[in-house]
A and B are shown apart, each in its own frame.
Chain A
Amino acid sequence: MRFWSLLRANLGRHKRRTFLTIMSVALALFLFASLRTVITTIGAAAQFGSARRLVTTNATGFILPLPIGYANRLEAIPGVEKVTWANWFGGQYGDGKRFFATFAIDGKSYLDVYPEMSVPADQKAAFLADKGGALIGARLVDLFGWQVGQNITLRGTIFPGDWTFTVRGVYTPTDPVINDDAMMFHWSYLDERTERTGMAGWYILQIDHPERAAEVATSIDDQFRSSPYPTKSGTEQAFNASFATMWGNIGLLMNTIGLAVVFAILLVTANAMMMSTRERTREFAILKTVGYTDRLLFGLVLAEAGLITVTGAVLGLGSAKVLYRATNFNAAGFLPGFDVTWATIAVGGVITLLLMLGSGLVPAAQAARLPVVTALRTVE
């Protein structure tokens, strides 16, 4: 801290340049944290899933349905405790600009299988009692100002027409990777309006022991192998992971963009530091004359680079951490649980250190190696 006044004075020499350099670092690390959080959020979603839940879909593809009659047969398979099902509805509200997921579910069994969806008891009862009722995520209340008891109309995209529901309950996820801006309504209502096609989108099964998952899944798929609707069963985690792989190698893309931004900022910061030290050639010579050692000057220049990058990192990483959490950001429902992890902050810290070394080492070495007499003569 002895040299703090000297460091502060040097950083304040070109306030605008210092400010812009710090903001460049902050922006780069903010972007890095944001892009990396996309990857970690997708990864977390892929990891989500109870070890006691299996998902059974049509073997041809999960967008193809399965007969509702499978429910009883699935329940009868040894190891299966509970069975529920859901359909993707795909409705639009208002101008449709704000997307949210809509599912038709078998209300009672679905809420039994998903205890992570917390619904007040009275609202749950009201939802289950009303065939035209809907259960909405807490975020939709914030987004649209919907209230319990209110009628809302969606425009069906897969199932055409206007669909009006009465909001009967609001669920709050106890696990952050569960989307809190989805809407659910009764599968029976969908089935009725679509002239009782009797098809479910997919089944979710609760099994008695997690270690039996593979055995039960095989047993299910074997049973339906020769039917017109063969199945593909697996753990919920594997099912969610298959969605994550649909993003392709987005991790590589995000990492590449993030690191490219950081590298660009490294060049900007290094350039600013080089300019700053080049302008002070004479001053370094004076400090050496006064008795400052090469090593001390090296440390002081590196400390300047450190102050710039660390301040930028605190602003960039800190604002990413605080901002996304404060605004409950989830990319319009595509990335539930979007939160900058401490691991991302730690990686950002390592990048900050590399930025400091990358931008400060060369100018610091130049300042340290500067021959006093030559430096004084050169600028005179």
Chain B
Amino acid sequence: MALVEIRNVDKTFTRGAERIEVFSGLTLDVEKGSFTALMGPSGSGKSTLLNLIAGLDQPTGGTVRVNGATVSSMTASQLAGWRAENIGFVFQQFNLLPVLTAYQNVELPLLLTRLSKKEREERVRIALGVVGLDDRLDHYPRQLSGGQEQRVAIARAIVADPTLVLLDEPTGQLDAVSSQDVLTLLGRLNGEFGKTILIVTHDPAAAARARRQLHLEKGTFVEQGEPIT
């Protein structure tokens, strides 16, 4: 059974009287432990698909199942709890809380758990160690480079040991060197730590790091690559 099962999903938005169909009858499986890149032009629905998988948005029709849970039929409260346990989300714009240090930003998801302060500290240090920023615990986002900020965001995404890590254009705001660092890190997370990764990107170089590439265009997959061996 696939980790992510998307079945006949429709998604439409309404803007005033206008009805915009993002996609219709979309079906996709993402296997556990895979590293998948989702590509496509702007407006093709990549980020929307990511939001549906994360339960940040609801499909107009069809079902979204992740790790056996039907995300598309959960309440907002159930979704929040489910996300805390199953999803790590990384945004293009890092989205760290500026008033919190790197340590505190990474600790945020753990505040929702029953872990003790000591256990939380252990986990935060490990997560920041994985992304190579264990020497920047007390730095605020403004004191970090873009690449470092994104690595802190990745540490925040993985600190609660989620089933699935979703990344929306994670290298979109980074220079070439920082992008390579982040992509290498994602490769490690997938290869060494077995994390299932689904990345939305415009960048062919970033997509090339994935073992599977999907192209979404006008709401349908026009090309579905085979796993790269």
A interface with B by C-beta (< 8 Å): 2-3, 5-6, 9-10, 12-13, 282-283, 286-296, 372-373, 376, 380
Contact = CB atoms under 8 A, between A and B. Distances in A.
A291 B85 contact: yes
B185 interface: no
Given A13-B99, A290-B156, A292-B80, A380 B93 contact: yes
Q: Report the interface size class on chain B.
A: 20 to 34
Interface of B: 51, 54, 56-57, 76-77, 80-81, 83-85, 87, 89, 91, 93, 95, 97, 99-100, 104, 107-109, 111-112, 156, 160
Contacts of B104: 5-6, 9
Contacts of A287: 108
Contact of B84 (A3, A10, A290, A376): A290
A3 B109 CA distance: 11
A194 to B, nearest CB: 76
Contacts of B112: 290-292, 296
Nearest to A8: B99
Nearest to A3: B111
Contacts of B95: 282, 286
A287 B111 CA distance: 11
A297 to B, nearest CB: 9
Contacts of B87: 291
Contacts of A296: 80, 112
A23 to B, nearest CB: 21
B54 to A, nearest CB: 7
A9 B97 contact: yes
Contacts of B111: 2-3, 6
Given A5-B107, A372-B51, 8 more contacts: A12-B99, A290-B112, A290-B156, A291-B84, A291-B109, A291-B112, A373-B51, A373-B56
Contacts of B160: 291
A291 B81 contact: yes
B187 to A, nearest CB: 24
Contacts of B51: 372-373
A9 B100 contact: yes
Contacts of A290: 83-84, 89, 108-109, 112, 156
Given A5-B100, A288-B80, A290-B156, A373 B57 contact: yes
B23 to A, nearest CB: 15
Q: Enumerate the 4 nearest inter-chain pairs by beta-carbon distance, A residue then B residue, closest first.
A: A291-B84, A9-B99, A293-B80, A291-B83
Specify the main secondary structure of chain B where it touches its partner: helix
A294 B57 contact: no
19 contacts: A2-B111, A6-B100, A6-B104, A6-B108, A6-B111, A10-B99, A12-B99, A282-B95, A286-B91, A289-B56, A289-B83, A290-B84, A290-B108, A291-B81, A292-B80, A295-B77, A372-B51, A373-B57, A376-B91
Nearest to A369: B76
Contacts of B93: 380
Nearest to A376: B91
Nearest to B48: A373
B54 A289 contact: yes
Nearest to B115: A2
A12 B98 CA distance: 11
A291 B80 contact: yes
B172 to A, nearest CB: 12
Nearest to B77: A293
Nearest to A373: B57
Contacts of B77: 293-295
A296 B81 CA distance: 11
A379 B100 CA distance: 20
Contacts of B56: 288-289, 372-373
A208 to B, nearest CB: 72
A6 B99 CA distance: 9
A293 B109 contact: no
A373 B48 CA distance: 9
Nearest to B90: A289
A136 B111 CA distance: 65
Contacts of A6: 100, 104, 108, 111
Contacts of B85: 291
Contact of B76 (A2, A12, A294, A380): A294
Contacts of A288: 56, 80
B81 A293 contact: yes
Nearest to A368: B76
| Interface-central residue, B95, B99, B156, by most chain A CB under 10 Å | B99
Contacts of A291: 80-81, 83-85, 87, 109, 112, 160
A282 B99 CA distance: 13
B112 to A, nearest CB: 5
B220 to A, nearest CB: 21
Nearest to A286: B95
Nearest to B109: A290
B60 to A, nearest CB: 14
